[in-house]
């Protein structure tokens, strides 16, 4: 017979730790894993993730969950209630669906939107100090060079991934109940290992001297803000530690102080790899789309035809609110990290390709 015992009636296991509890969804991912390592000394951690490999770090209990299933989410929180009690210091919600195919998928709704709704529903039975949602810089309307995007800037998501984030942000606002919320609109994440699909693919094209590395269909003075993985982890950790001082509902941008243009990225990467800058040749968008279509027709290329229409978009983030509320300060920059990233490529190309899932 199915167990329908309400969460509040589930007895708690005896606990010998006074540490507060943090729950991390998407805990086996790049951000979740590093966050767990960072917080383990001061908090008890439960990592919510799909069953099977990869697993969360050993510092966190792996609580298997399928966010598309009511029963799975309910069962996971019964486990949380039994082992950790009804008080949760912070829930860091990193789990979401995304891909770069550019095609419609019902998984954005099933995982990102409805999955978050299931989490919030279950959390109403707990005393939750904070719910952190990892949103994206891409929810904003693009700006222009020198015009920084603030948390009050207009939203204009252009494809399914950021659209699902906007929908989920609205859902959280409506269904959070009494749970304090931090919406983090995060820039593109990178590290010394690479770990950024757009950047590492640009590095690959230049390293392999592909003709596409020199062709570009948009304004080369436009670019996007990024943020180092360690700086992002620091922002999340500060949000958790200072949760009692934050507003009940707040949106915070998280990104580097400097936004490099496409040309600056190209010049740095080319100089580090080949010792000289490489000239960028402007091509019409229709030609770029045709080329991308042919590349994907006869192989698996990163650049898809739909990306060409977005190539002119410029995202220049203002993260001063994070500095003011959290005392956060980015300690890294993409400009300084790129040479380290490329040295790792040169020292061990096979490992760099494997870590960043690049196809030769």
Is the domain of 218 the same as that of 238? no
Question: Facing residues of 79 across strands?
Answer: none
Is the domain of 32 the same as that of 60? yes
How many angstroms separate the CA atoms of 214 and 278, rounded? 7
The tens digit of pLDDT for each residue in 254-274 reads 999 999 999 999 999 999 999
Residue 10 lies in a domain: no
CATH assignment at residue 145 = 3.40.50.720
What is the reported pLDDT for 297? Answer: 65
Is the domain of 147 the same as that of 57? yes
CB 288 within 8 A of CB 215: yes
Is the domain of 263 the same as that of 299? yes
Q: Which domain holds residue 236?
A: 20-190+226-254
Tell me how many domains the chain contains: 2
Is the domain of 177 the same as that of 267? no
Is the domain of 114 the same as that of 214? no
Phi, psi of 184 (to 5 degrees): -100, 115
Burial class (CB in 10 A: 0-12, 13-18, 19+), 39: buried
The mean pLDDT value for 314-339 works out to 98
The tens digit of pLDDT for each residue in 20-62 reads 999 999 999 999 999 999 999 999 999 999 988 888 899 999 9
Residue 321 lies in a domain: no
Pick 206 or 14 by higher pLDDT.
206
The tens digit of pLDDT for each residue in 98-125 reads 887 767 899 999 999 999 999 999 999 9
Residue 326 lies in a domain: no
């Amino acid at each position: 017979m199915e167990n329908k015992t309400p969460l509040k009636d589930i007895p708690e296991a005896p606990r010998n730790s006074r540490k507060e509890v943090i729950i991390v969804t998407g805990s086996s991912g790049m951000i979740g894993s590093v966050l767990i390592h960072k917080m383990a000394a001061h908090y008890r951690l439960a990592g919510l993730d799909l069953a099977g490999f990869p697993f969360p770090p050993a510092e966190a209990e792996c609580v298997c969950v399928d966010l598309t299933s009511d029963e799975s989410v309910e069962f996971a929180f019964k486990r949380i209630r039994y082992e950790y009690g009804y008080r949760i210091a912070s829930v860091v919600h990193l789990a979401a669906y995304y891909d770069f195919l550019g095609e419609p998928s019902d998984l954005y709704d099933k995982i990102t939107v409805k999955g978050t709704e299931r989490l919030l529903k279950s959390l109403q039975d707990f005393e939750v100090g904070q719910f952190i949602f990892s949103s994206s810089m891409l929810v904003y309307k693009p700006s222009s060079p020198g015009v920084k995007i603030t948390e009050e800037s207009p939203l204009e998501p252009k494809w399914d991934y950021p659209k699902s984030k906007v929908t989920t942000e609205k859902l959280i606002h409506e269904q959070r109940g009494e749970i304090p919320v931090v919406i983090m609109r995060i820039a593109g994440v990178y590290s010394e290992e690479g770990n950024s699909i757009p950047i590492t693919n640009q590095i690959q094209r230049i390293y392999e001297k592909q003709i596409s590395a020199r062709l570009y269909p948009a304004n080369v003075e436009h670019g996007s803000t990024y943020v180092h993985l360690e700086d992002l982890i620091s922002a999340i950790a500060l949000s958790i530690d200072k949760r009692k001082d934050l507003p009940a509902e707040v949106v915070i941008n998280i990104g580097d102080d400097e936004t490099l243009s496409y040309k600056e990225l190209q010049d740095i990467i080319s100089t580090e790899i080949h010792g000289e800058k490489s000239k960028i040749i402007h091509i019409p968008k229709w030609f770029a789309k045709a080329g991308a279509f042919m590349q994907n027709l006869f192989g698996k290329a990163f650049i898809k035809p739909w990306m060409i229409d977005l190539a002119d978009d410029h995202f220049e983030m203002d993260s001063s609110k994070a500095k003011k509320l959290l005392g956060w300060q980015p300690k890294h920059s993409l400009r300084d990290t790129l040479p380290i990233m490329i040295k790792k490529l040169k020292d061990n190309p096979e490992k760099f390709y494997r870590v960043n899932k690049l196809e030769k």
